[in-house]
């Protein structure tokens, strides 16, 4: 992976009005929503309004007015807001026991379900947006900062954990299921079955989402779409653009345009950009 630049201190910075904090298992985003079509992230998604309620539709359900809403992984949905910015958390499902989430953080069946956690999460976003924050502390204790508690981890088979960690360390790599099966001493079919059973999604879907998620490292850079696509392992910009539209409901071009003043802080570095 190429270095994305940026040399400021990660310990304590004055954040810009729009910010994305990326760790291996979490993303915290406060920024523009745009006008997405149907989107479908591979993570648990938490949307929170910072002012006016937003409108959200999950699957083919009715549009609902909400101030906070949780969408399950791999679930098609649409969202619109009249506000300039919105708060979003992405929580990788292989890192948490979904069944042990607090009720307000379970995938929402109705907007009122989230009310117990609303002000806590909203206040965390306000602190990020408006005040000096200890980024190092937030990165190290992400869940407590945003959610007020540590989330119970998912218990994975040691062999599946090996593969999950391998992909998370190099999400742009080209490792395939057959190679992974050999790494952990399983037959191809047994590996695929155990991976889905343990991780909660297919190996192919997991790898595809992790690759697509790595696009977030580039959203405020000056790189061309072709360069970004090749950097994160896509054969060409067309395949890359199709994948981004599937997950985000927006074109890569629109995402880059909306991220020009976004501060991106990744899990291993100082801010990529603060301008």
Q: Which domains can be identified in the chain, with CATH numbers?
A: 13-154+252-265 (2.60.120.10), 158-248 (1.10.10.60)
Give Cα separations from 49 to 44, 54, 108, 111, 160 (angstroms). 17, 7, 15, 12, 36
Query: What is the rounded distance in angstroms from the CA atom of residue 150 to the CA atom of residue 187?
Result: 36
Position 10 scores a pLDDT of 38
Q: How would you write the pLDDT of the chain (275 residues) with one tens digit per residue?
A: 443 433 333 334 444 589 999 998 999 999 999 999 999 999 999 999 999 999 999 999 999 999 999 999 999 999 999 998 999 999 999 999 999 999 999 999 999 999 999 999 999 999 888 766 787 788 889 999 999 999 999 999 999 999 999 999 999 998 999 999 999 999 999 999 999 999 999 999 999 999 999 999 999 988 999 999 999 999 999 999 999 999 999 999 999 999 989 999 886 543 333 32
Position 53 scores a pLDDT of 97
Q: Percentage of residues in the chain with pLDDT exceeding 70?
A: 90
Query: What is the rounded distance in angstroms from the CA atom of residue 91 to the CA atom of residue 88?
Result: 10
Asked if residue 22 lies in contact with residue 265, where contact means CB atoms within 8 angstroms, the answer is yes
Q: Determine which helix (DSSP H) or strand (DSSP E) holds 215, and give its type and residue range.
A: none
Q: Determine which helix (DSSP H) or strand (DSSP E) holds 194, and give its type and residue range.
A: helix 188-199
Q: Are strands 132-133 and 13-14 parallel, antiparallel or unpaired?
A: antiparallel
């Amino acid at each position: 992976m190429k270095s994305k630049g940026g040399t400021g201190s990660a310990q304590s910075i004055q954040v810009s009005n729009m910010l994305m904090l990326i760790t291996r298992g979490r993303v915290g985003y406060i920024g523009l929503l745009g006008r997405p079509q149907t989107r479908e992230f591979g993570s648990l998604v938490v949307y929170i309004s910072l002012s006016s309620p937003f409108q959200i539709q999950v699957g083919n359900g009715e549009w609902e007015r909400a101030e906070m809403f949780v969408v399950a992984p791999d679930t098609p949905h649409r969202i619109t807001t009249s506000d300039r910015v919105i708060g979003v958390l992405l929580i990788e499902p292989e890192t948490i026991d979904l069944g042990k989430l607090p009720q307000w953080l379970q995938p929402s069946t109705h907007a009122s379900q989230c009310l117990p956690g609303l002000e806590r999460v909203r206040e965390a976003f306000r602190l990020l947006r408006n005040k000096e924050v200890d980024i190092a502390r937030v990165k190290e204790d992400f869940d407590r900062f945003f959610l007020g508690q540590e989330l119970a981890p998912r218990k994975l088979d040691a062999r599946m954990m090996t593969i999950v960690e391998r992909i998370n360390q190099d999400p742009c790599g080209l490792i395939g299921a057959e190679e992974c099966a050999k790494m952990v001493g399983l037959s191809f079919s047994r590996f695929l079955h155990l991976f889905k059973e343990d991780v909660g999604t297919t190996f192919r879907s997991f790898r595809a989402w992790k690759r697509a998620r790595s696009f977030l490292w580039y959203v405020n850079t000056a790189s061309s779409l072709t360069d970004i696509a090749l950097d994160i392992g896509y054969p060409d910009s067309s395949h890359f653009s199709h994948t981004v539209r599937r997950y985000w409901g927006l074109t890569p071009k629109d995402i880059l345009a909306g991220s020009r003043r976004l501060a991106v802080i990744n899990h291993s570095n100082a801010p990529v950009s603060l301008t």
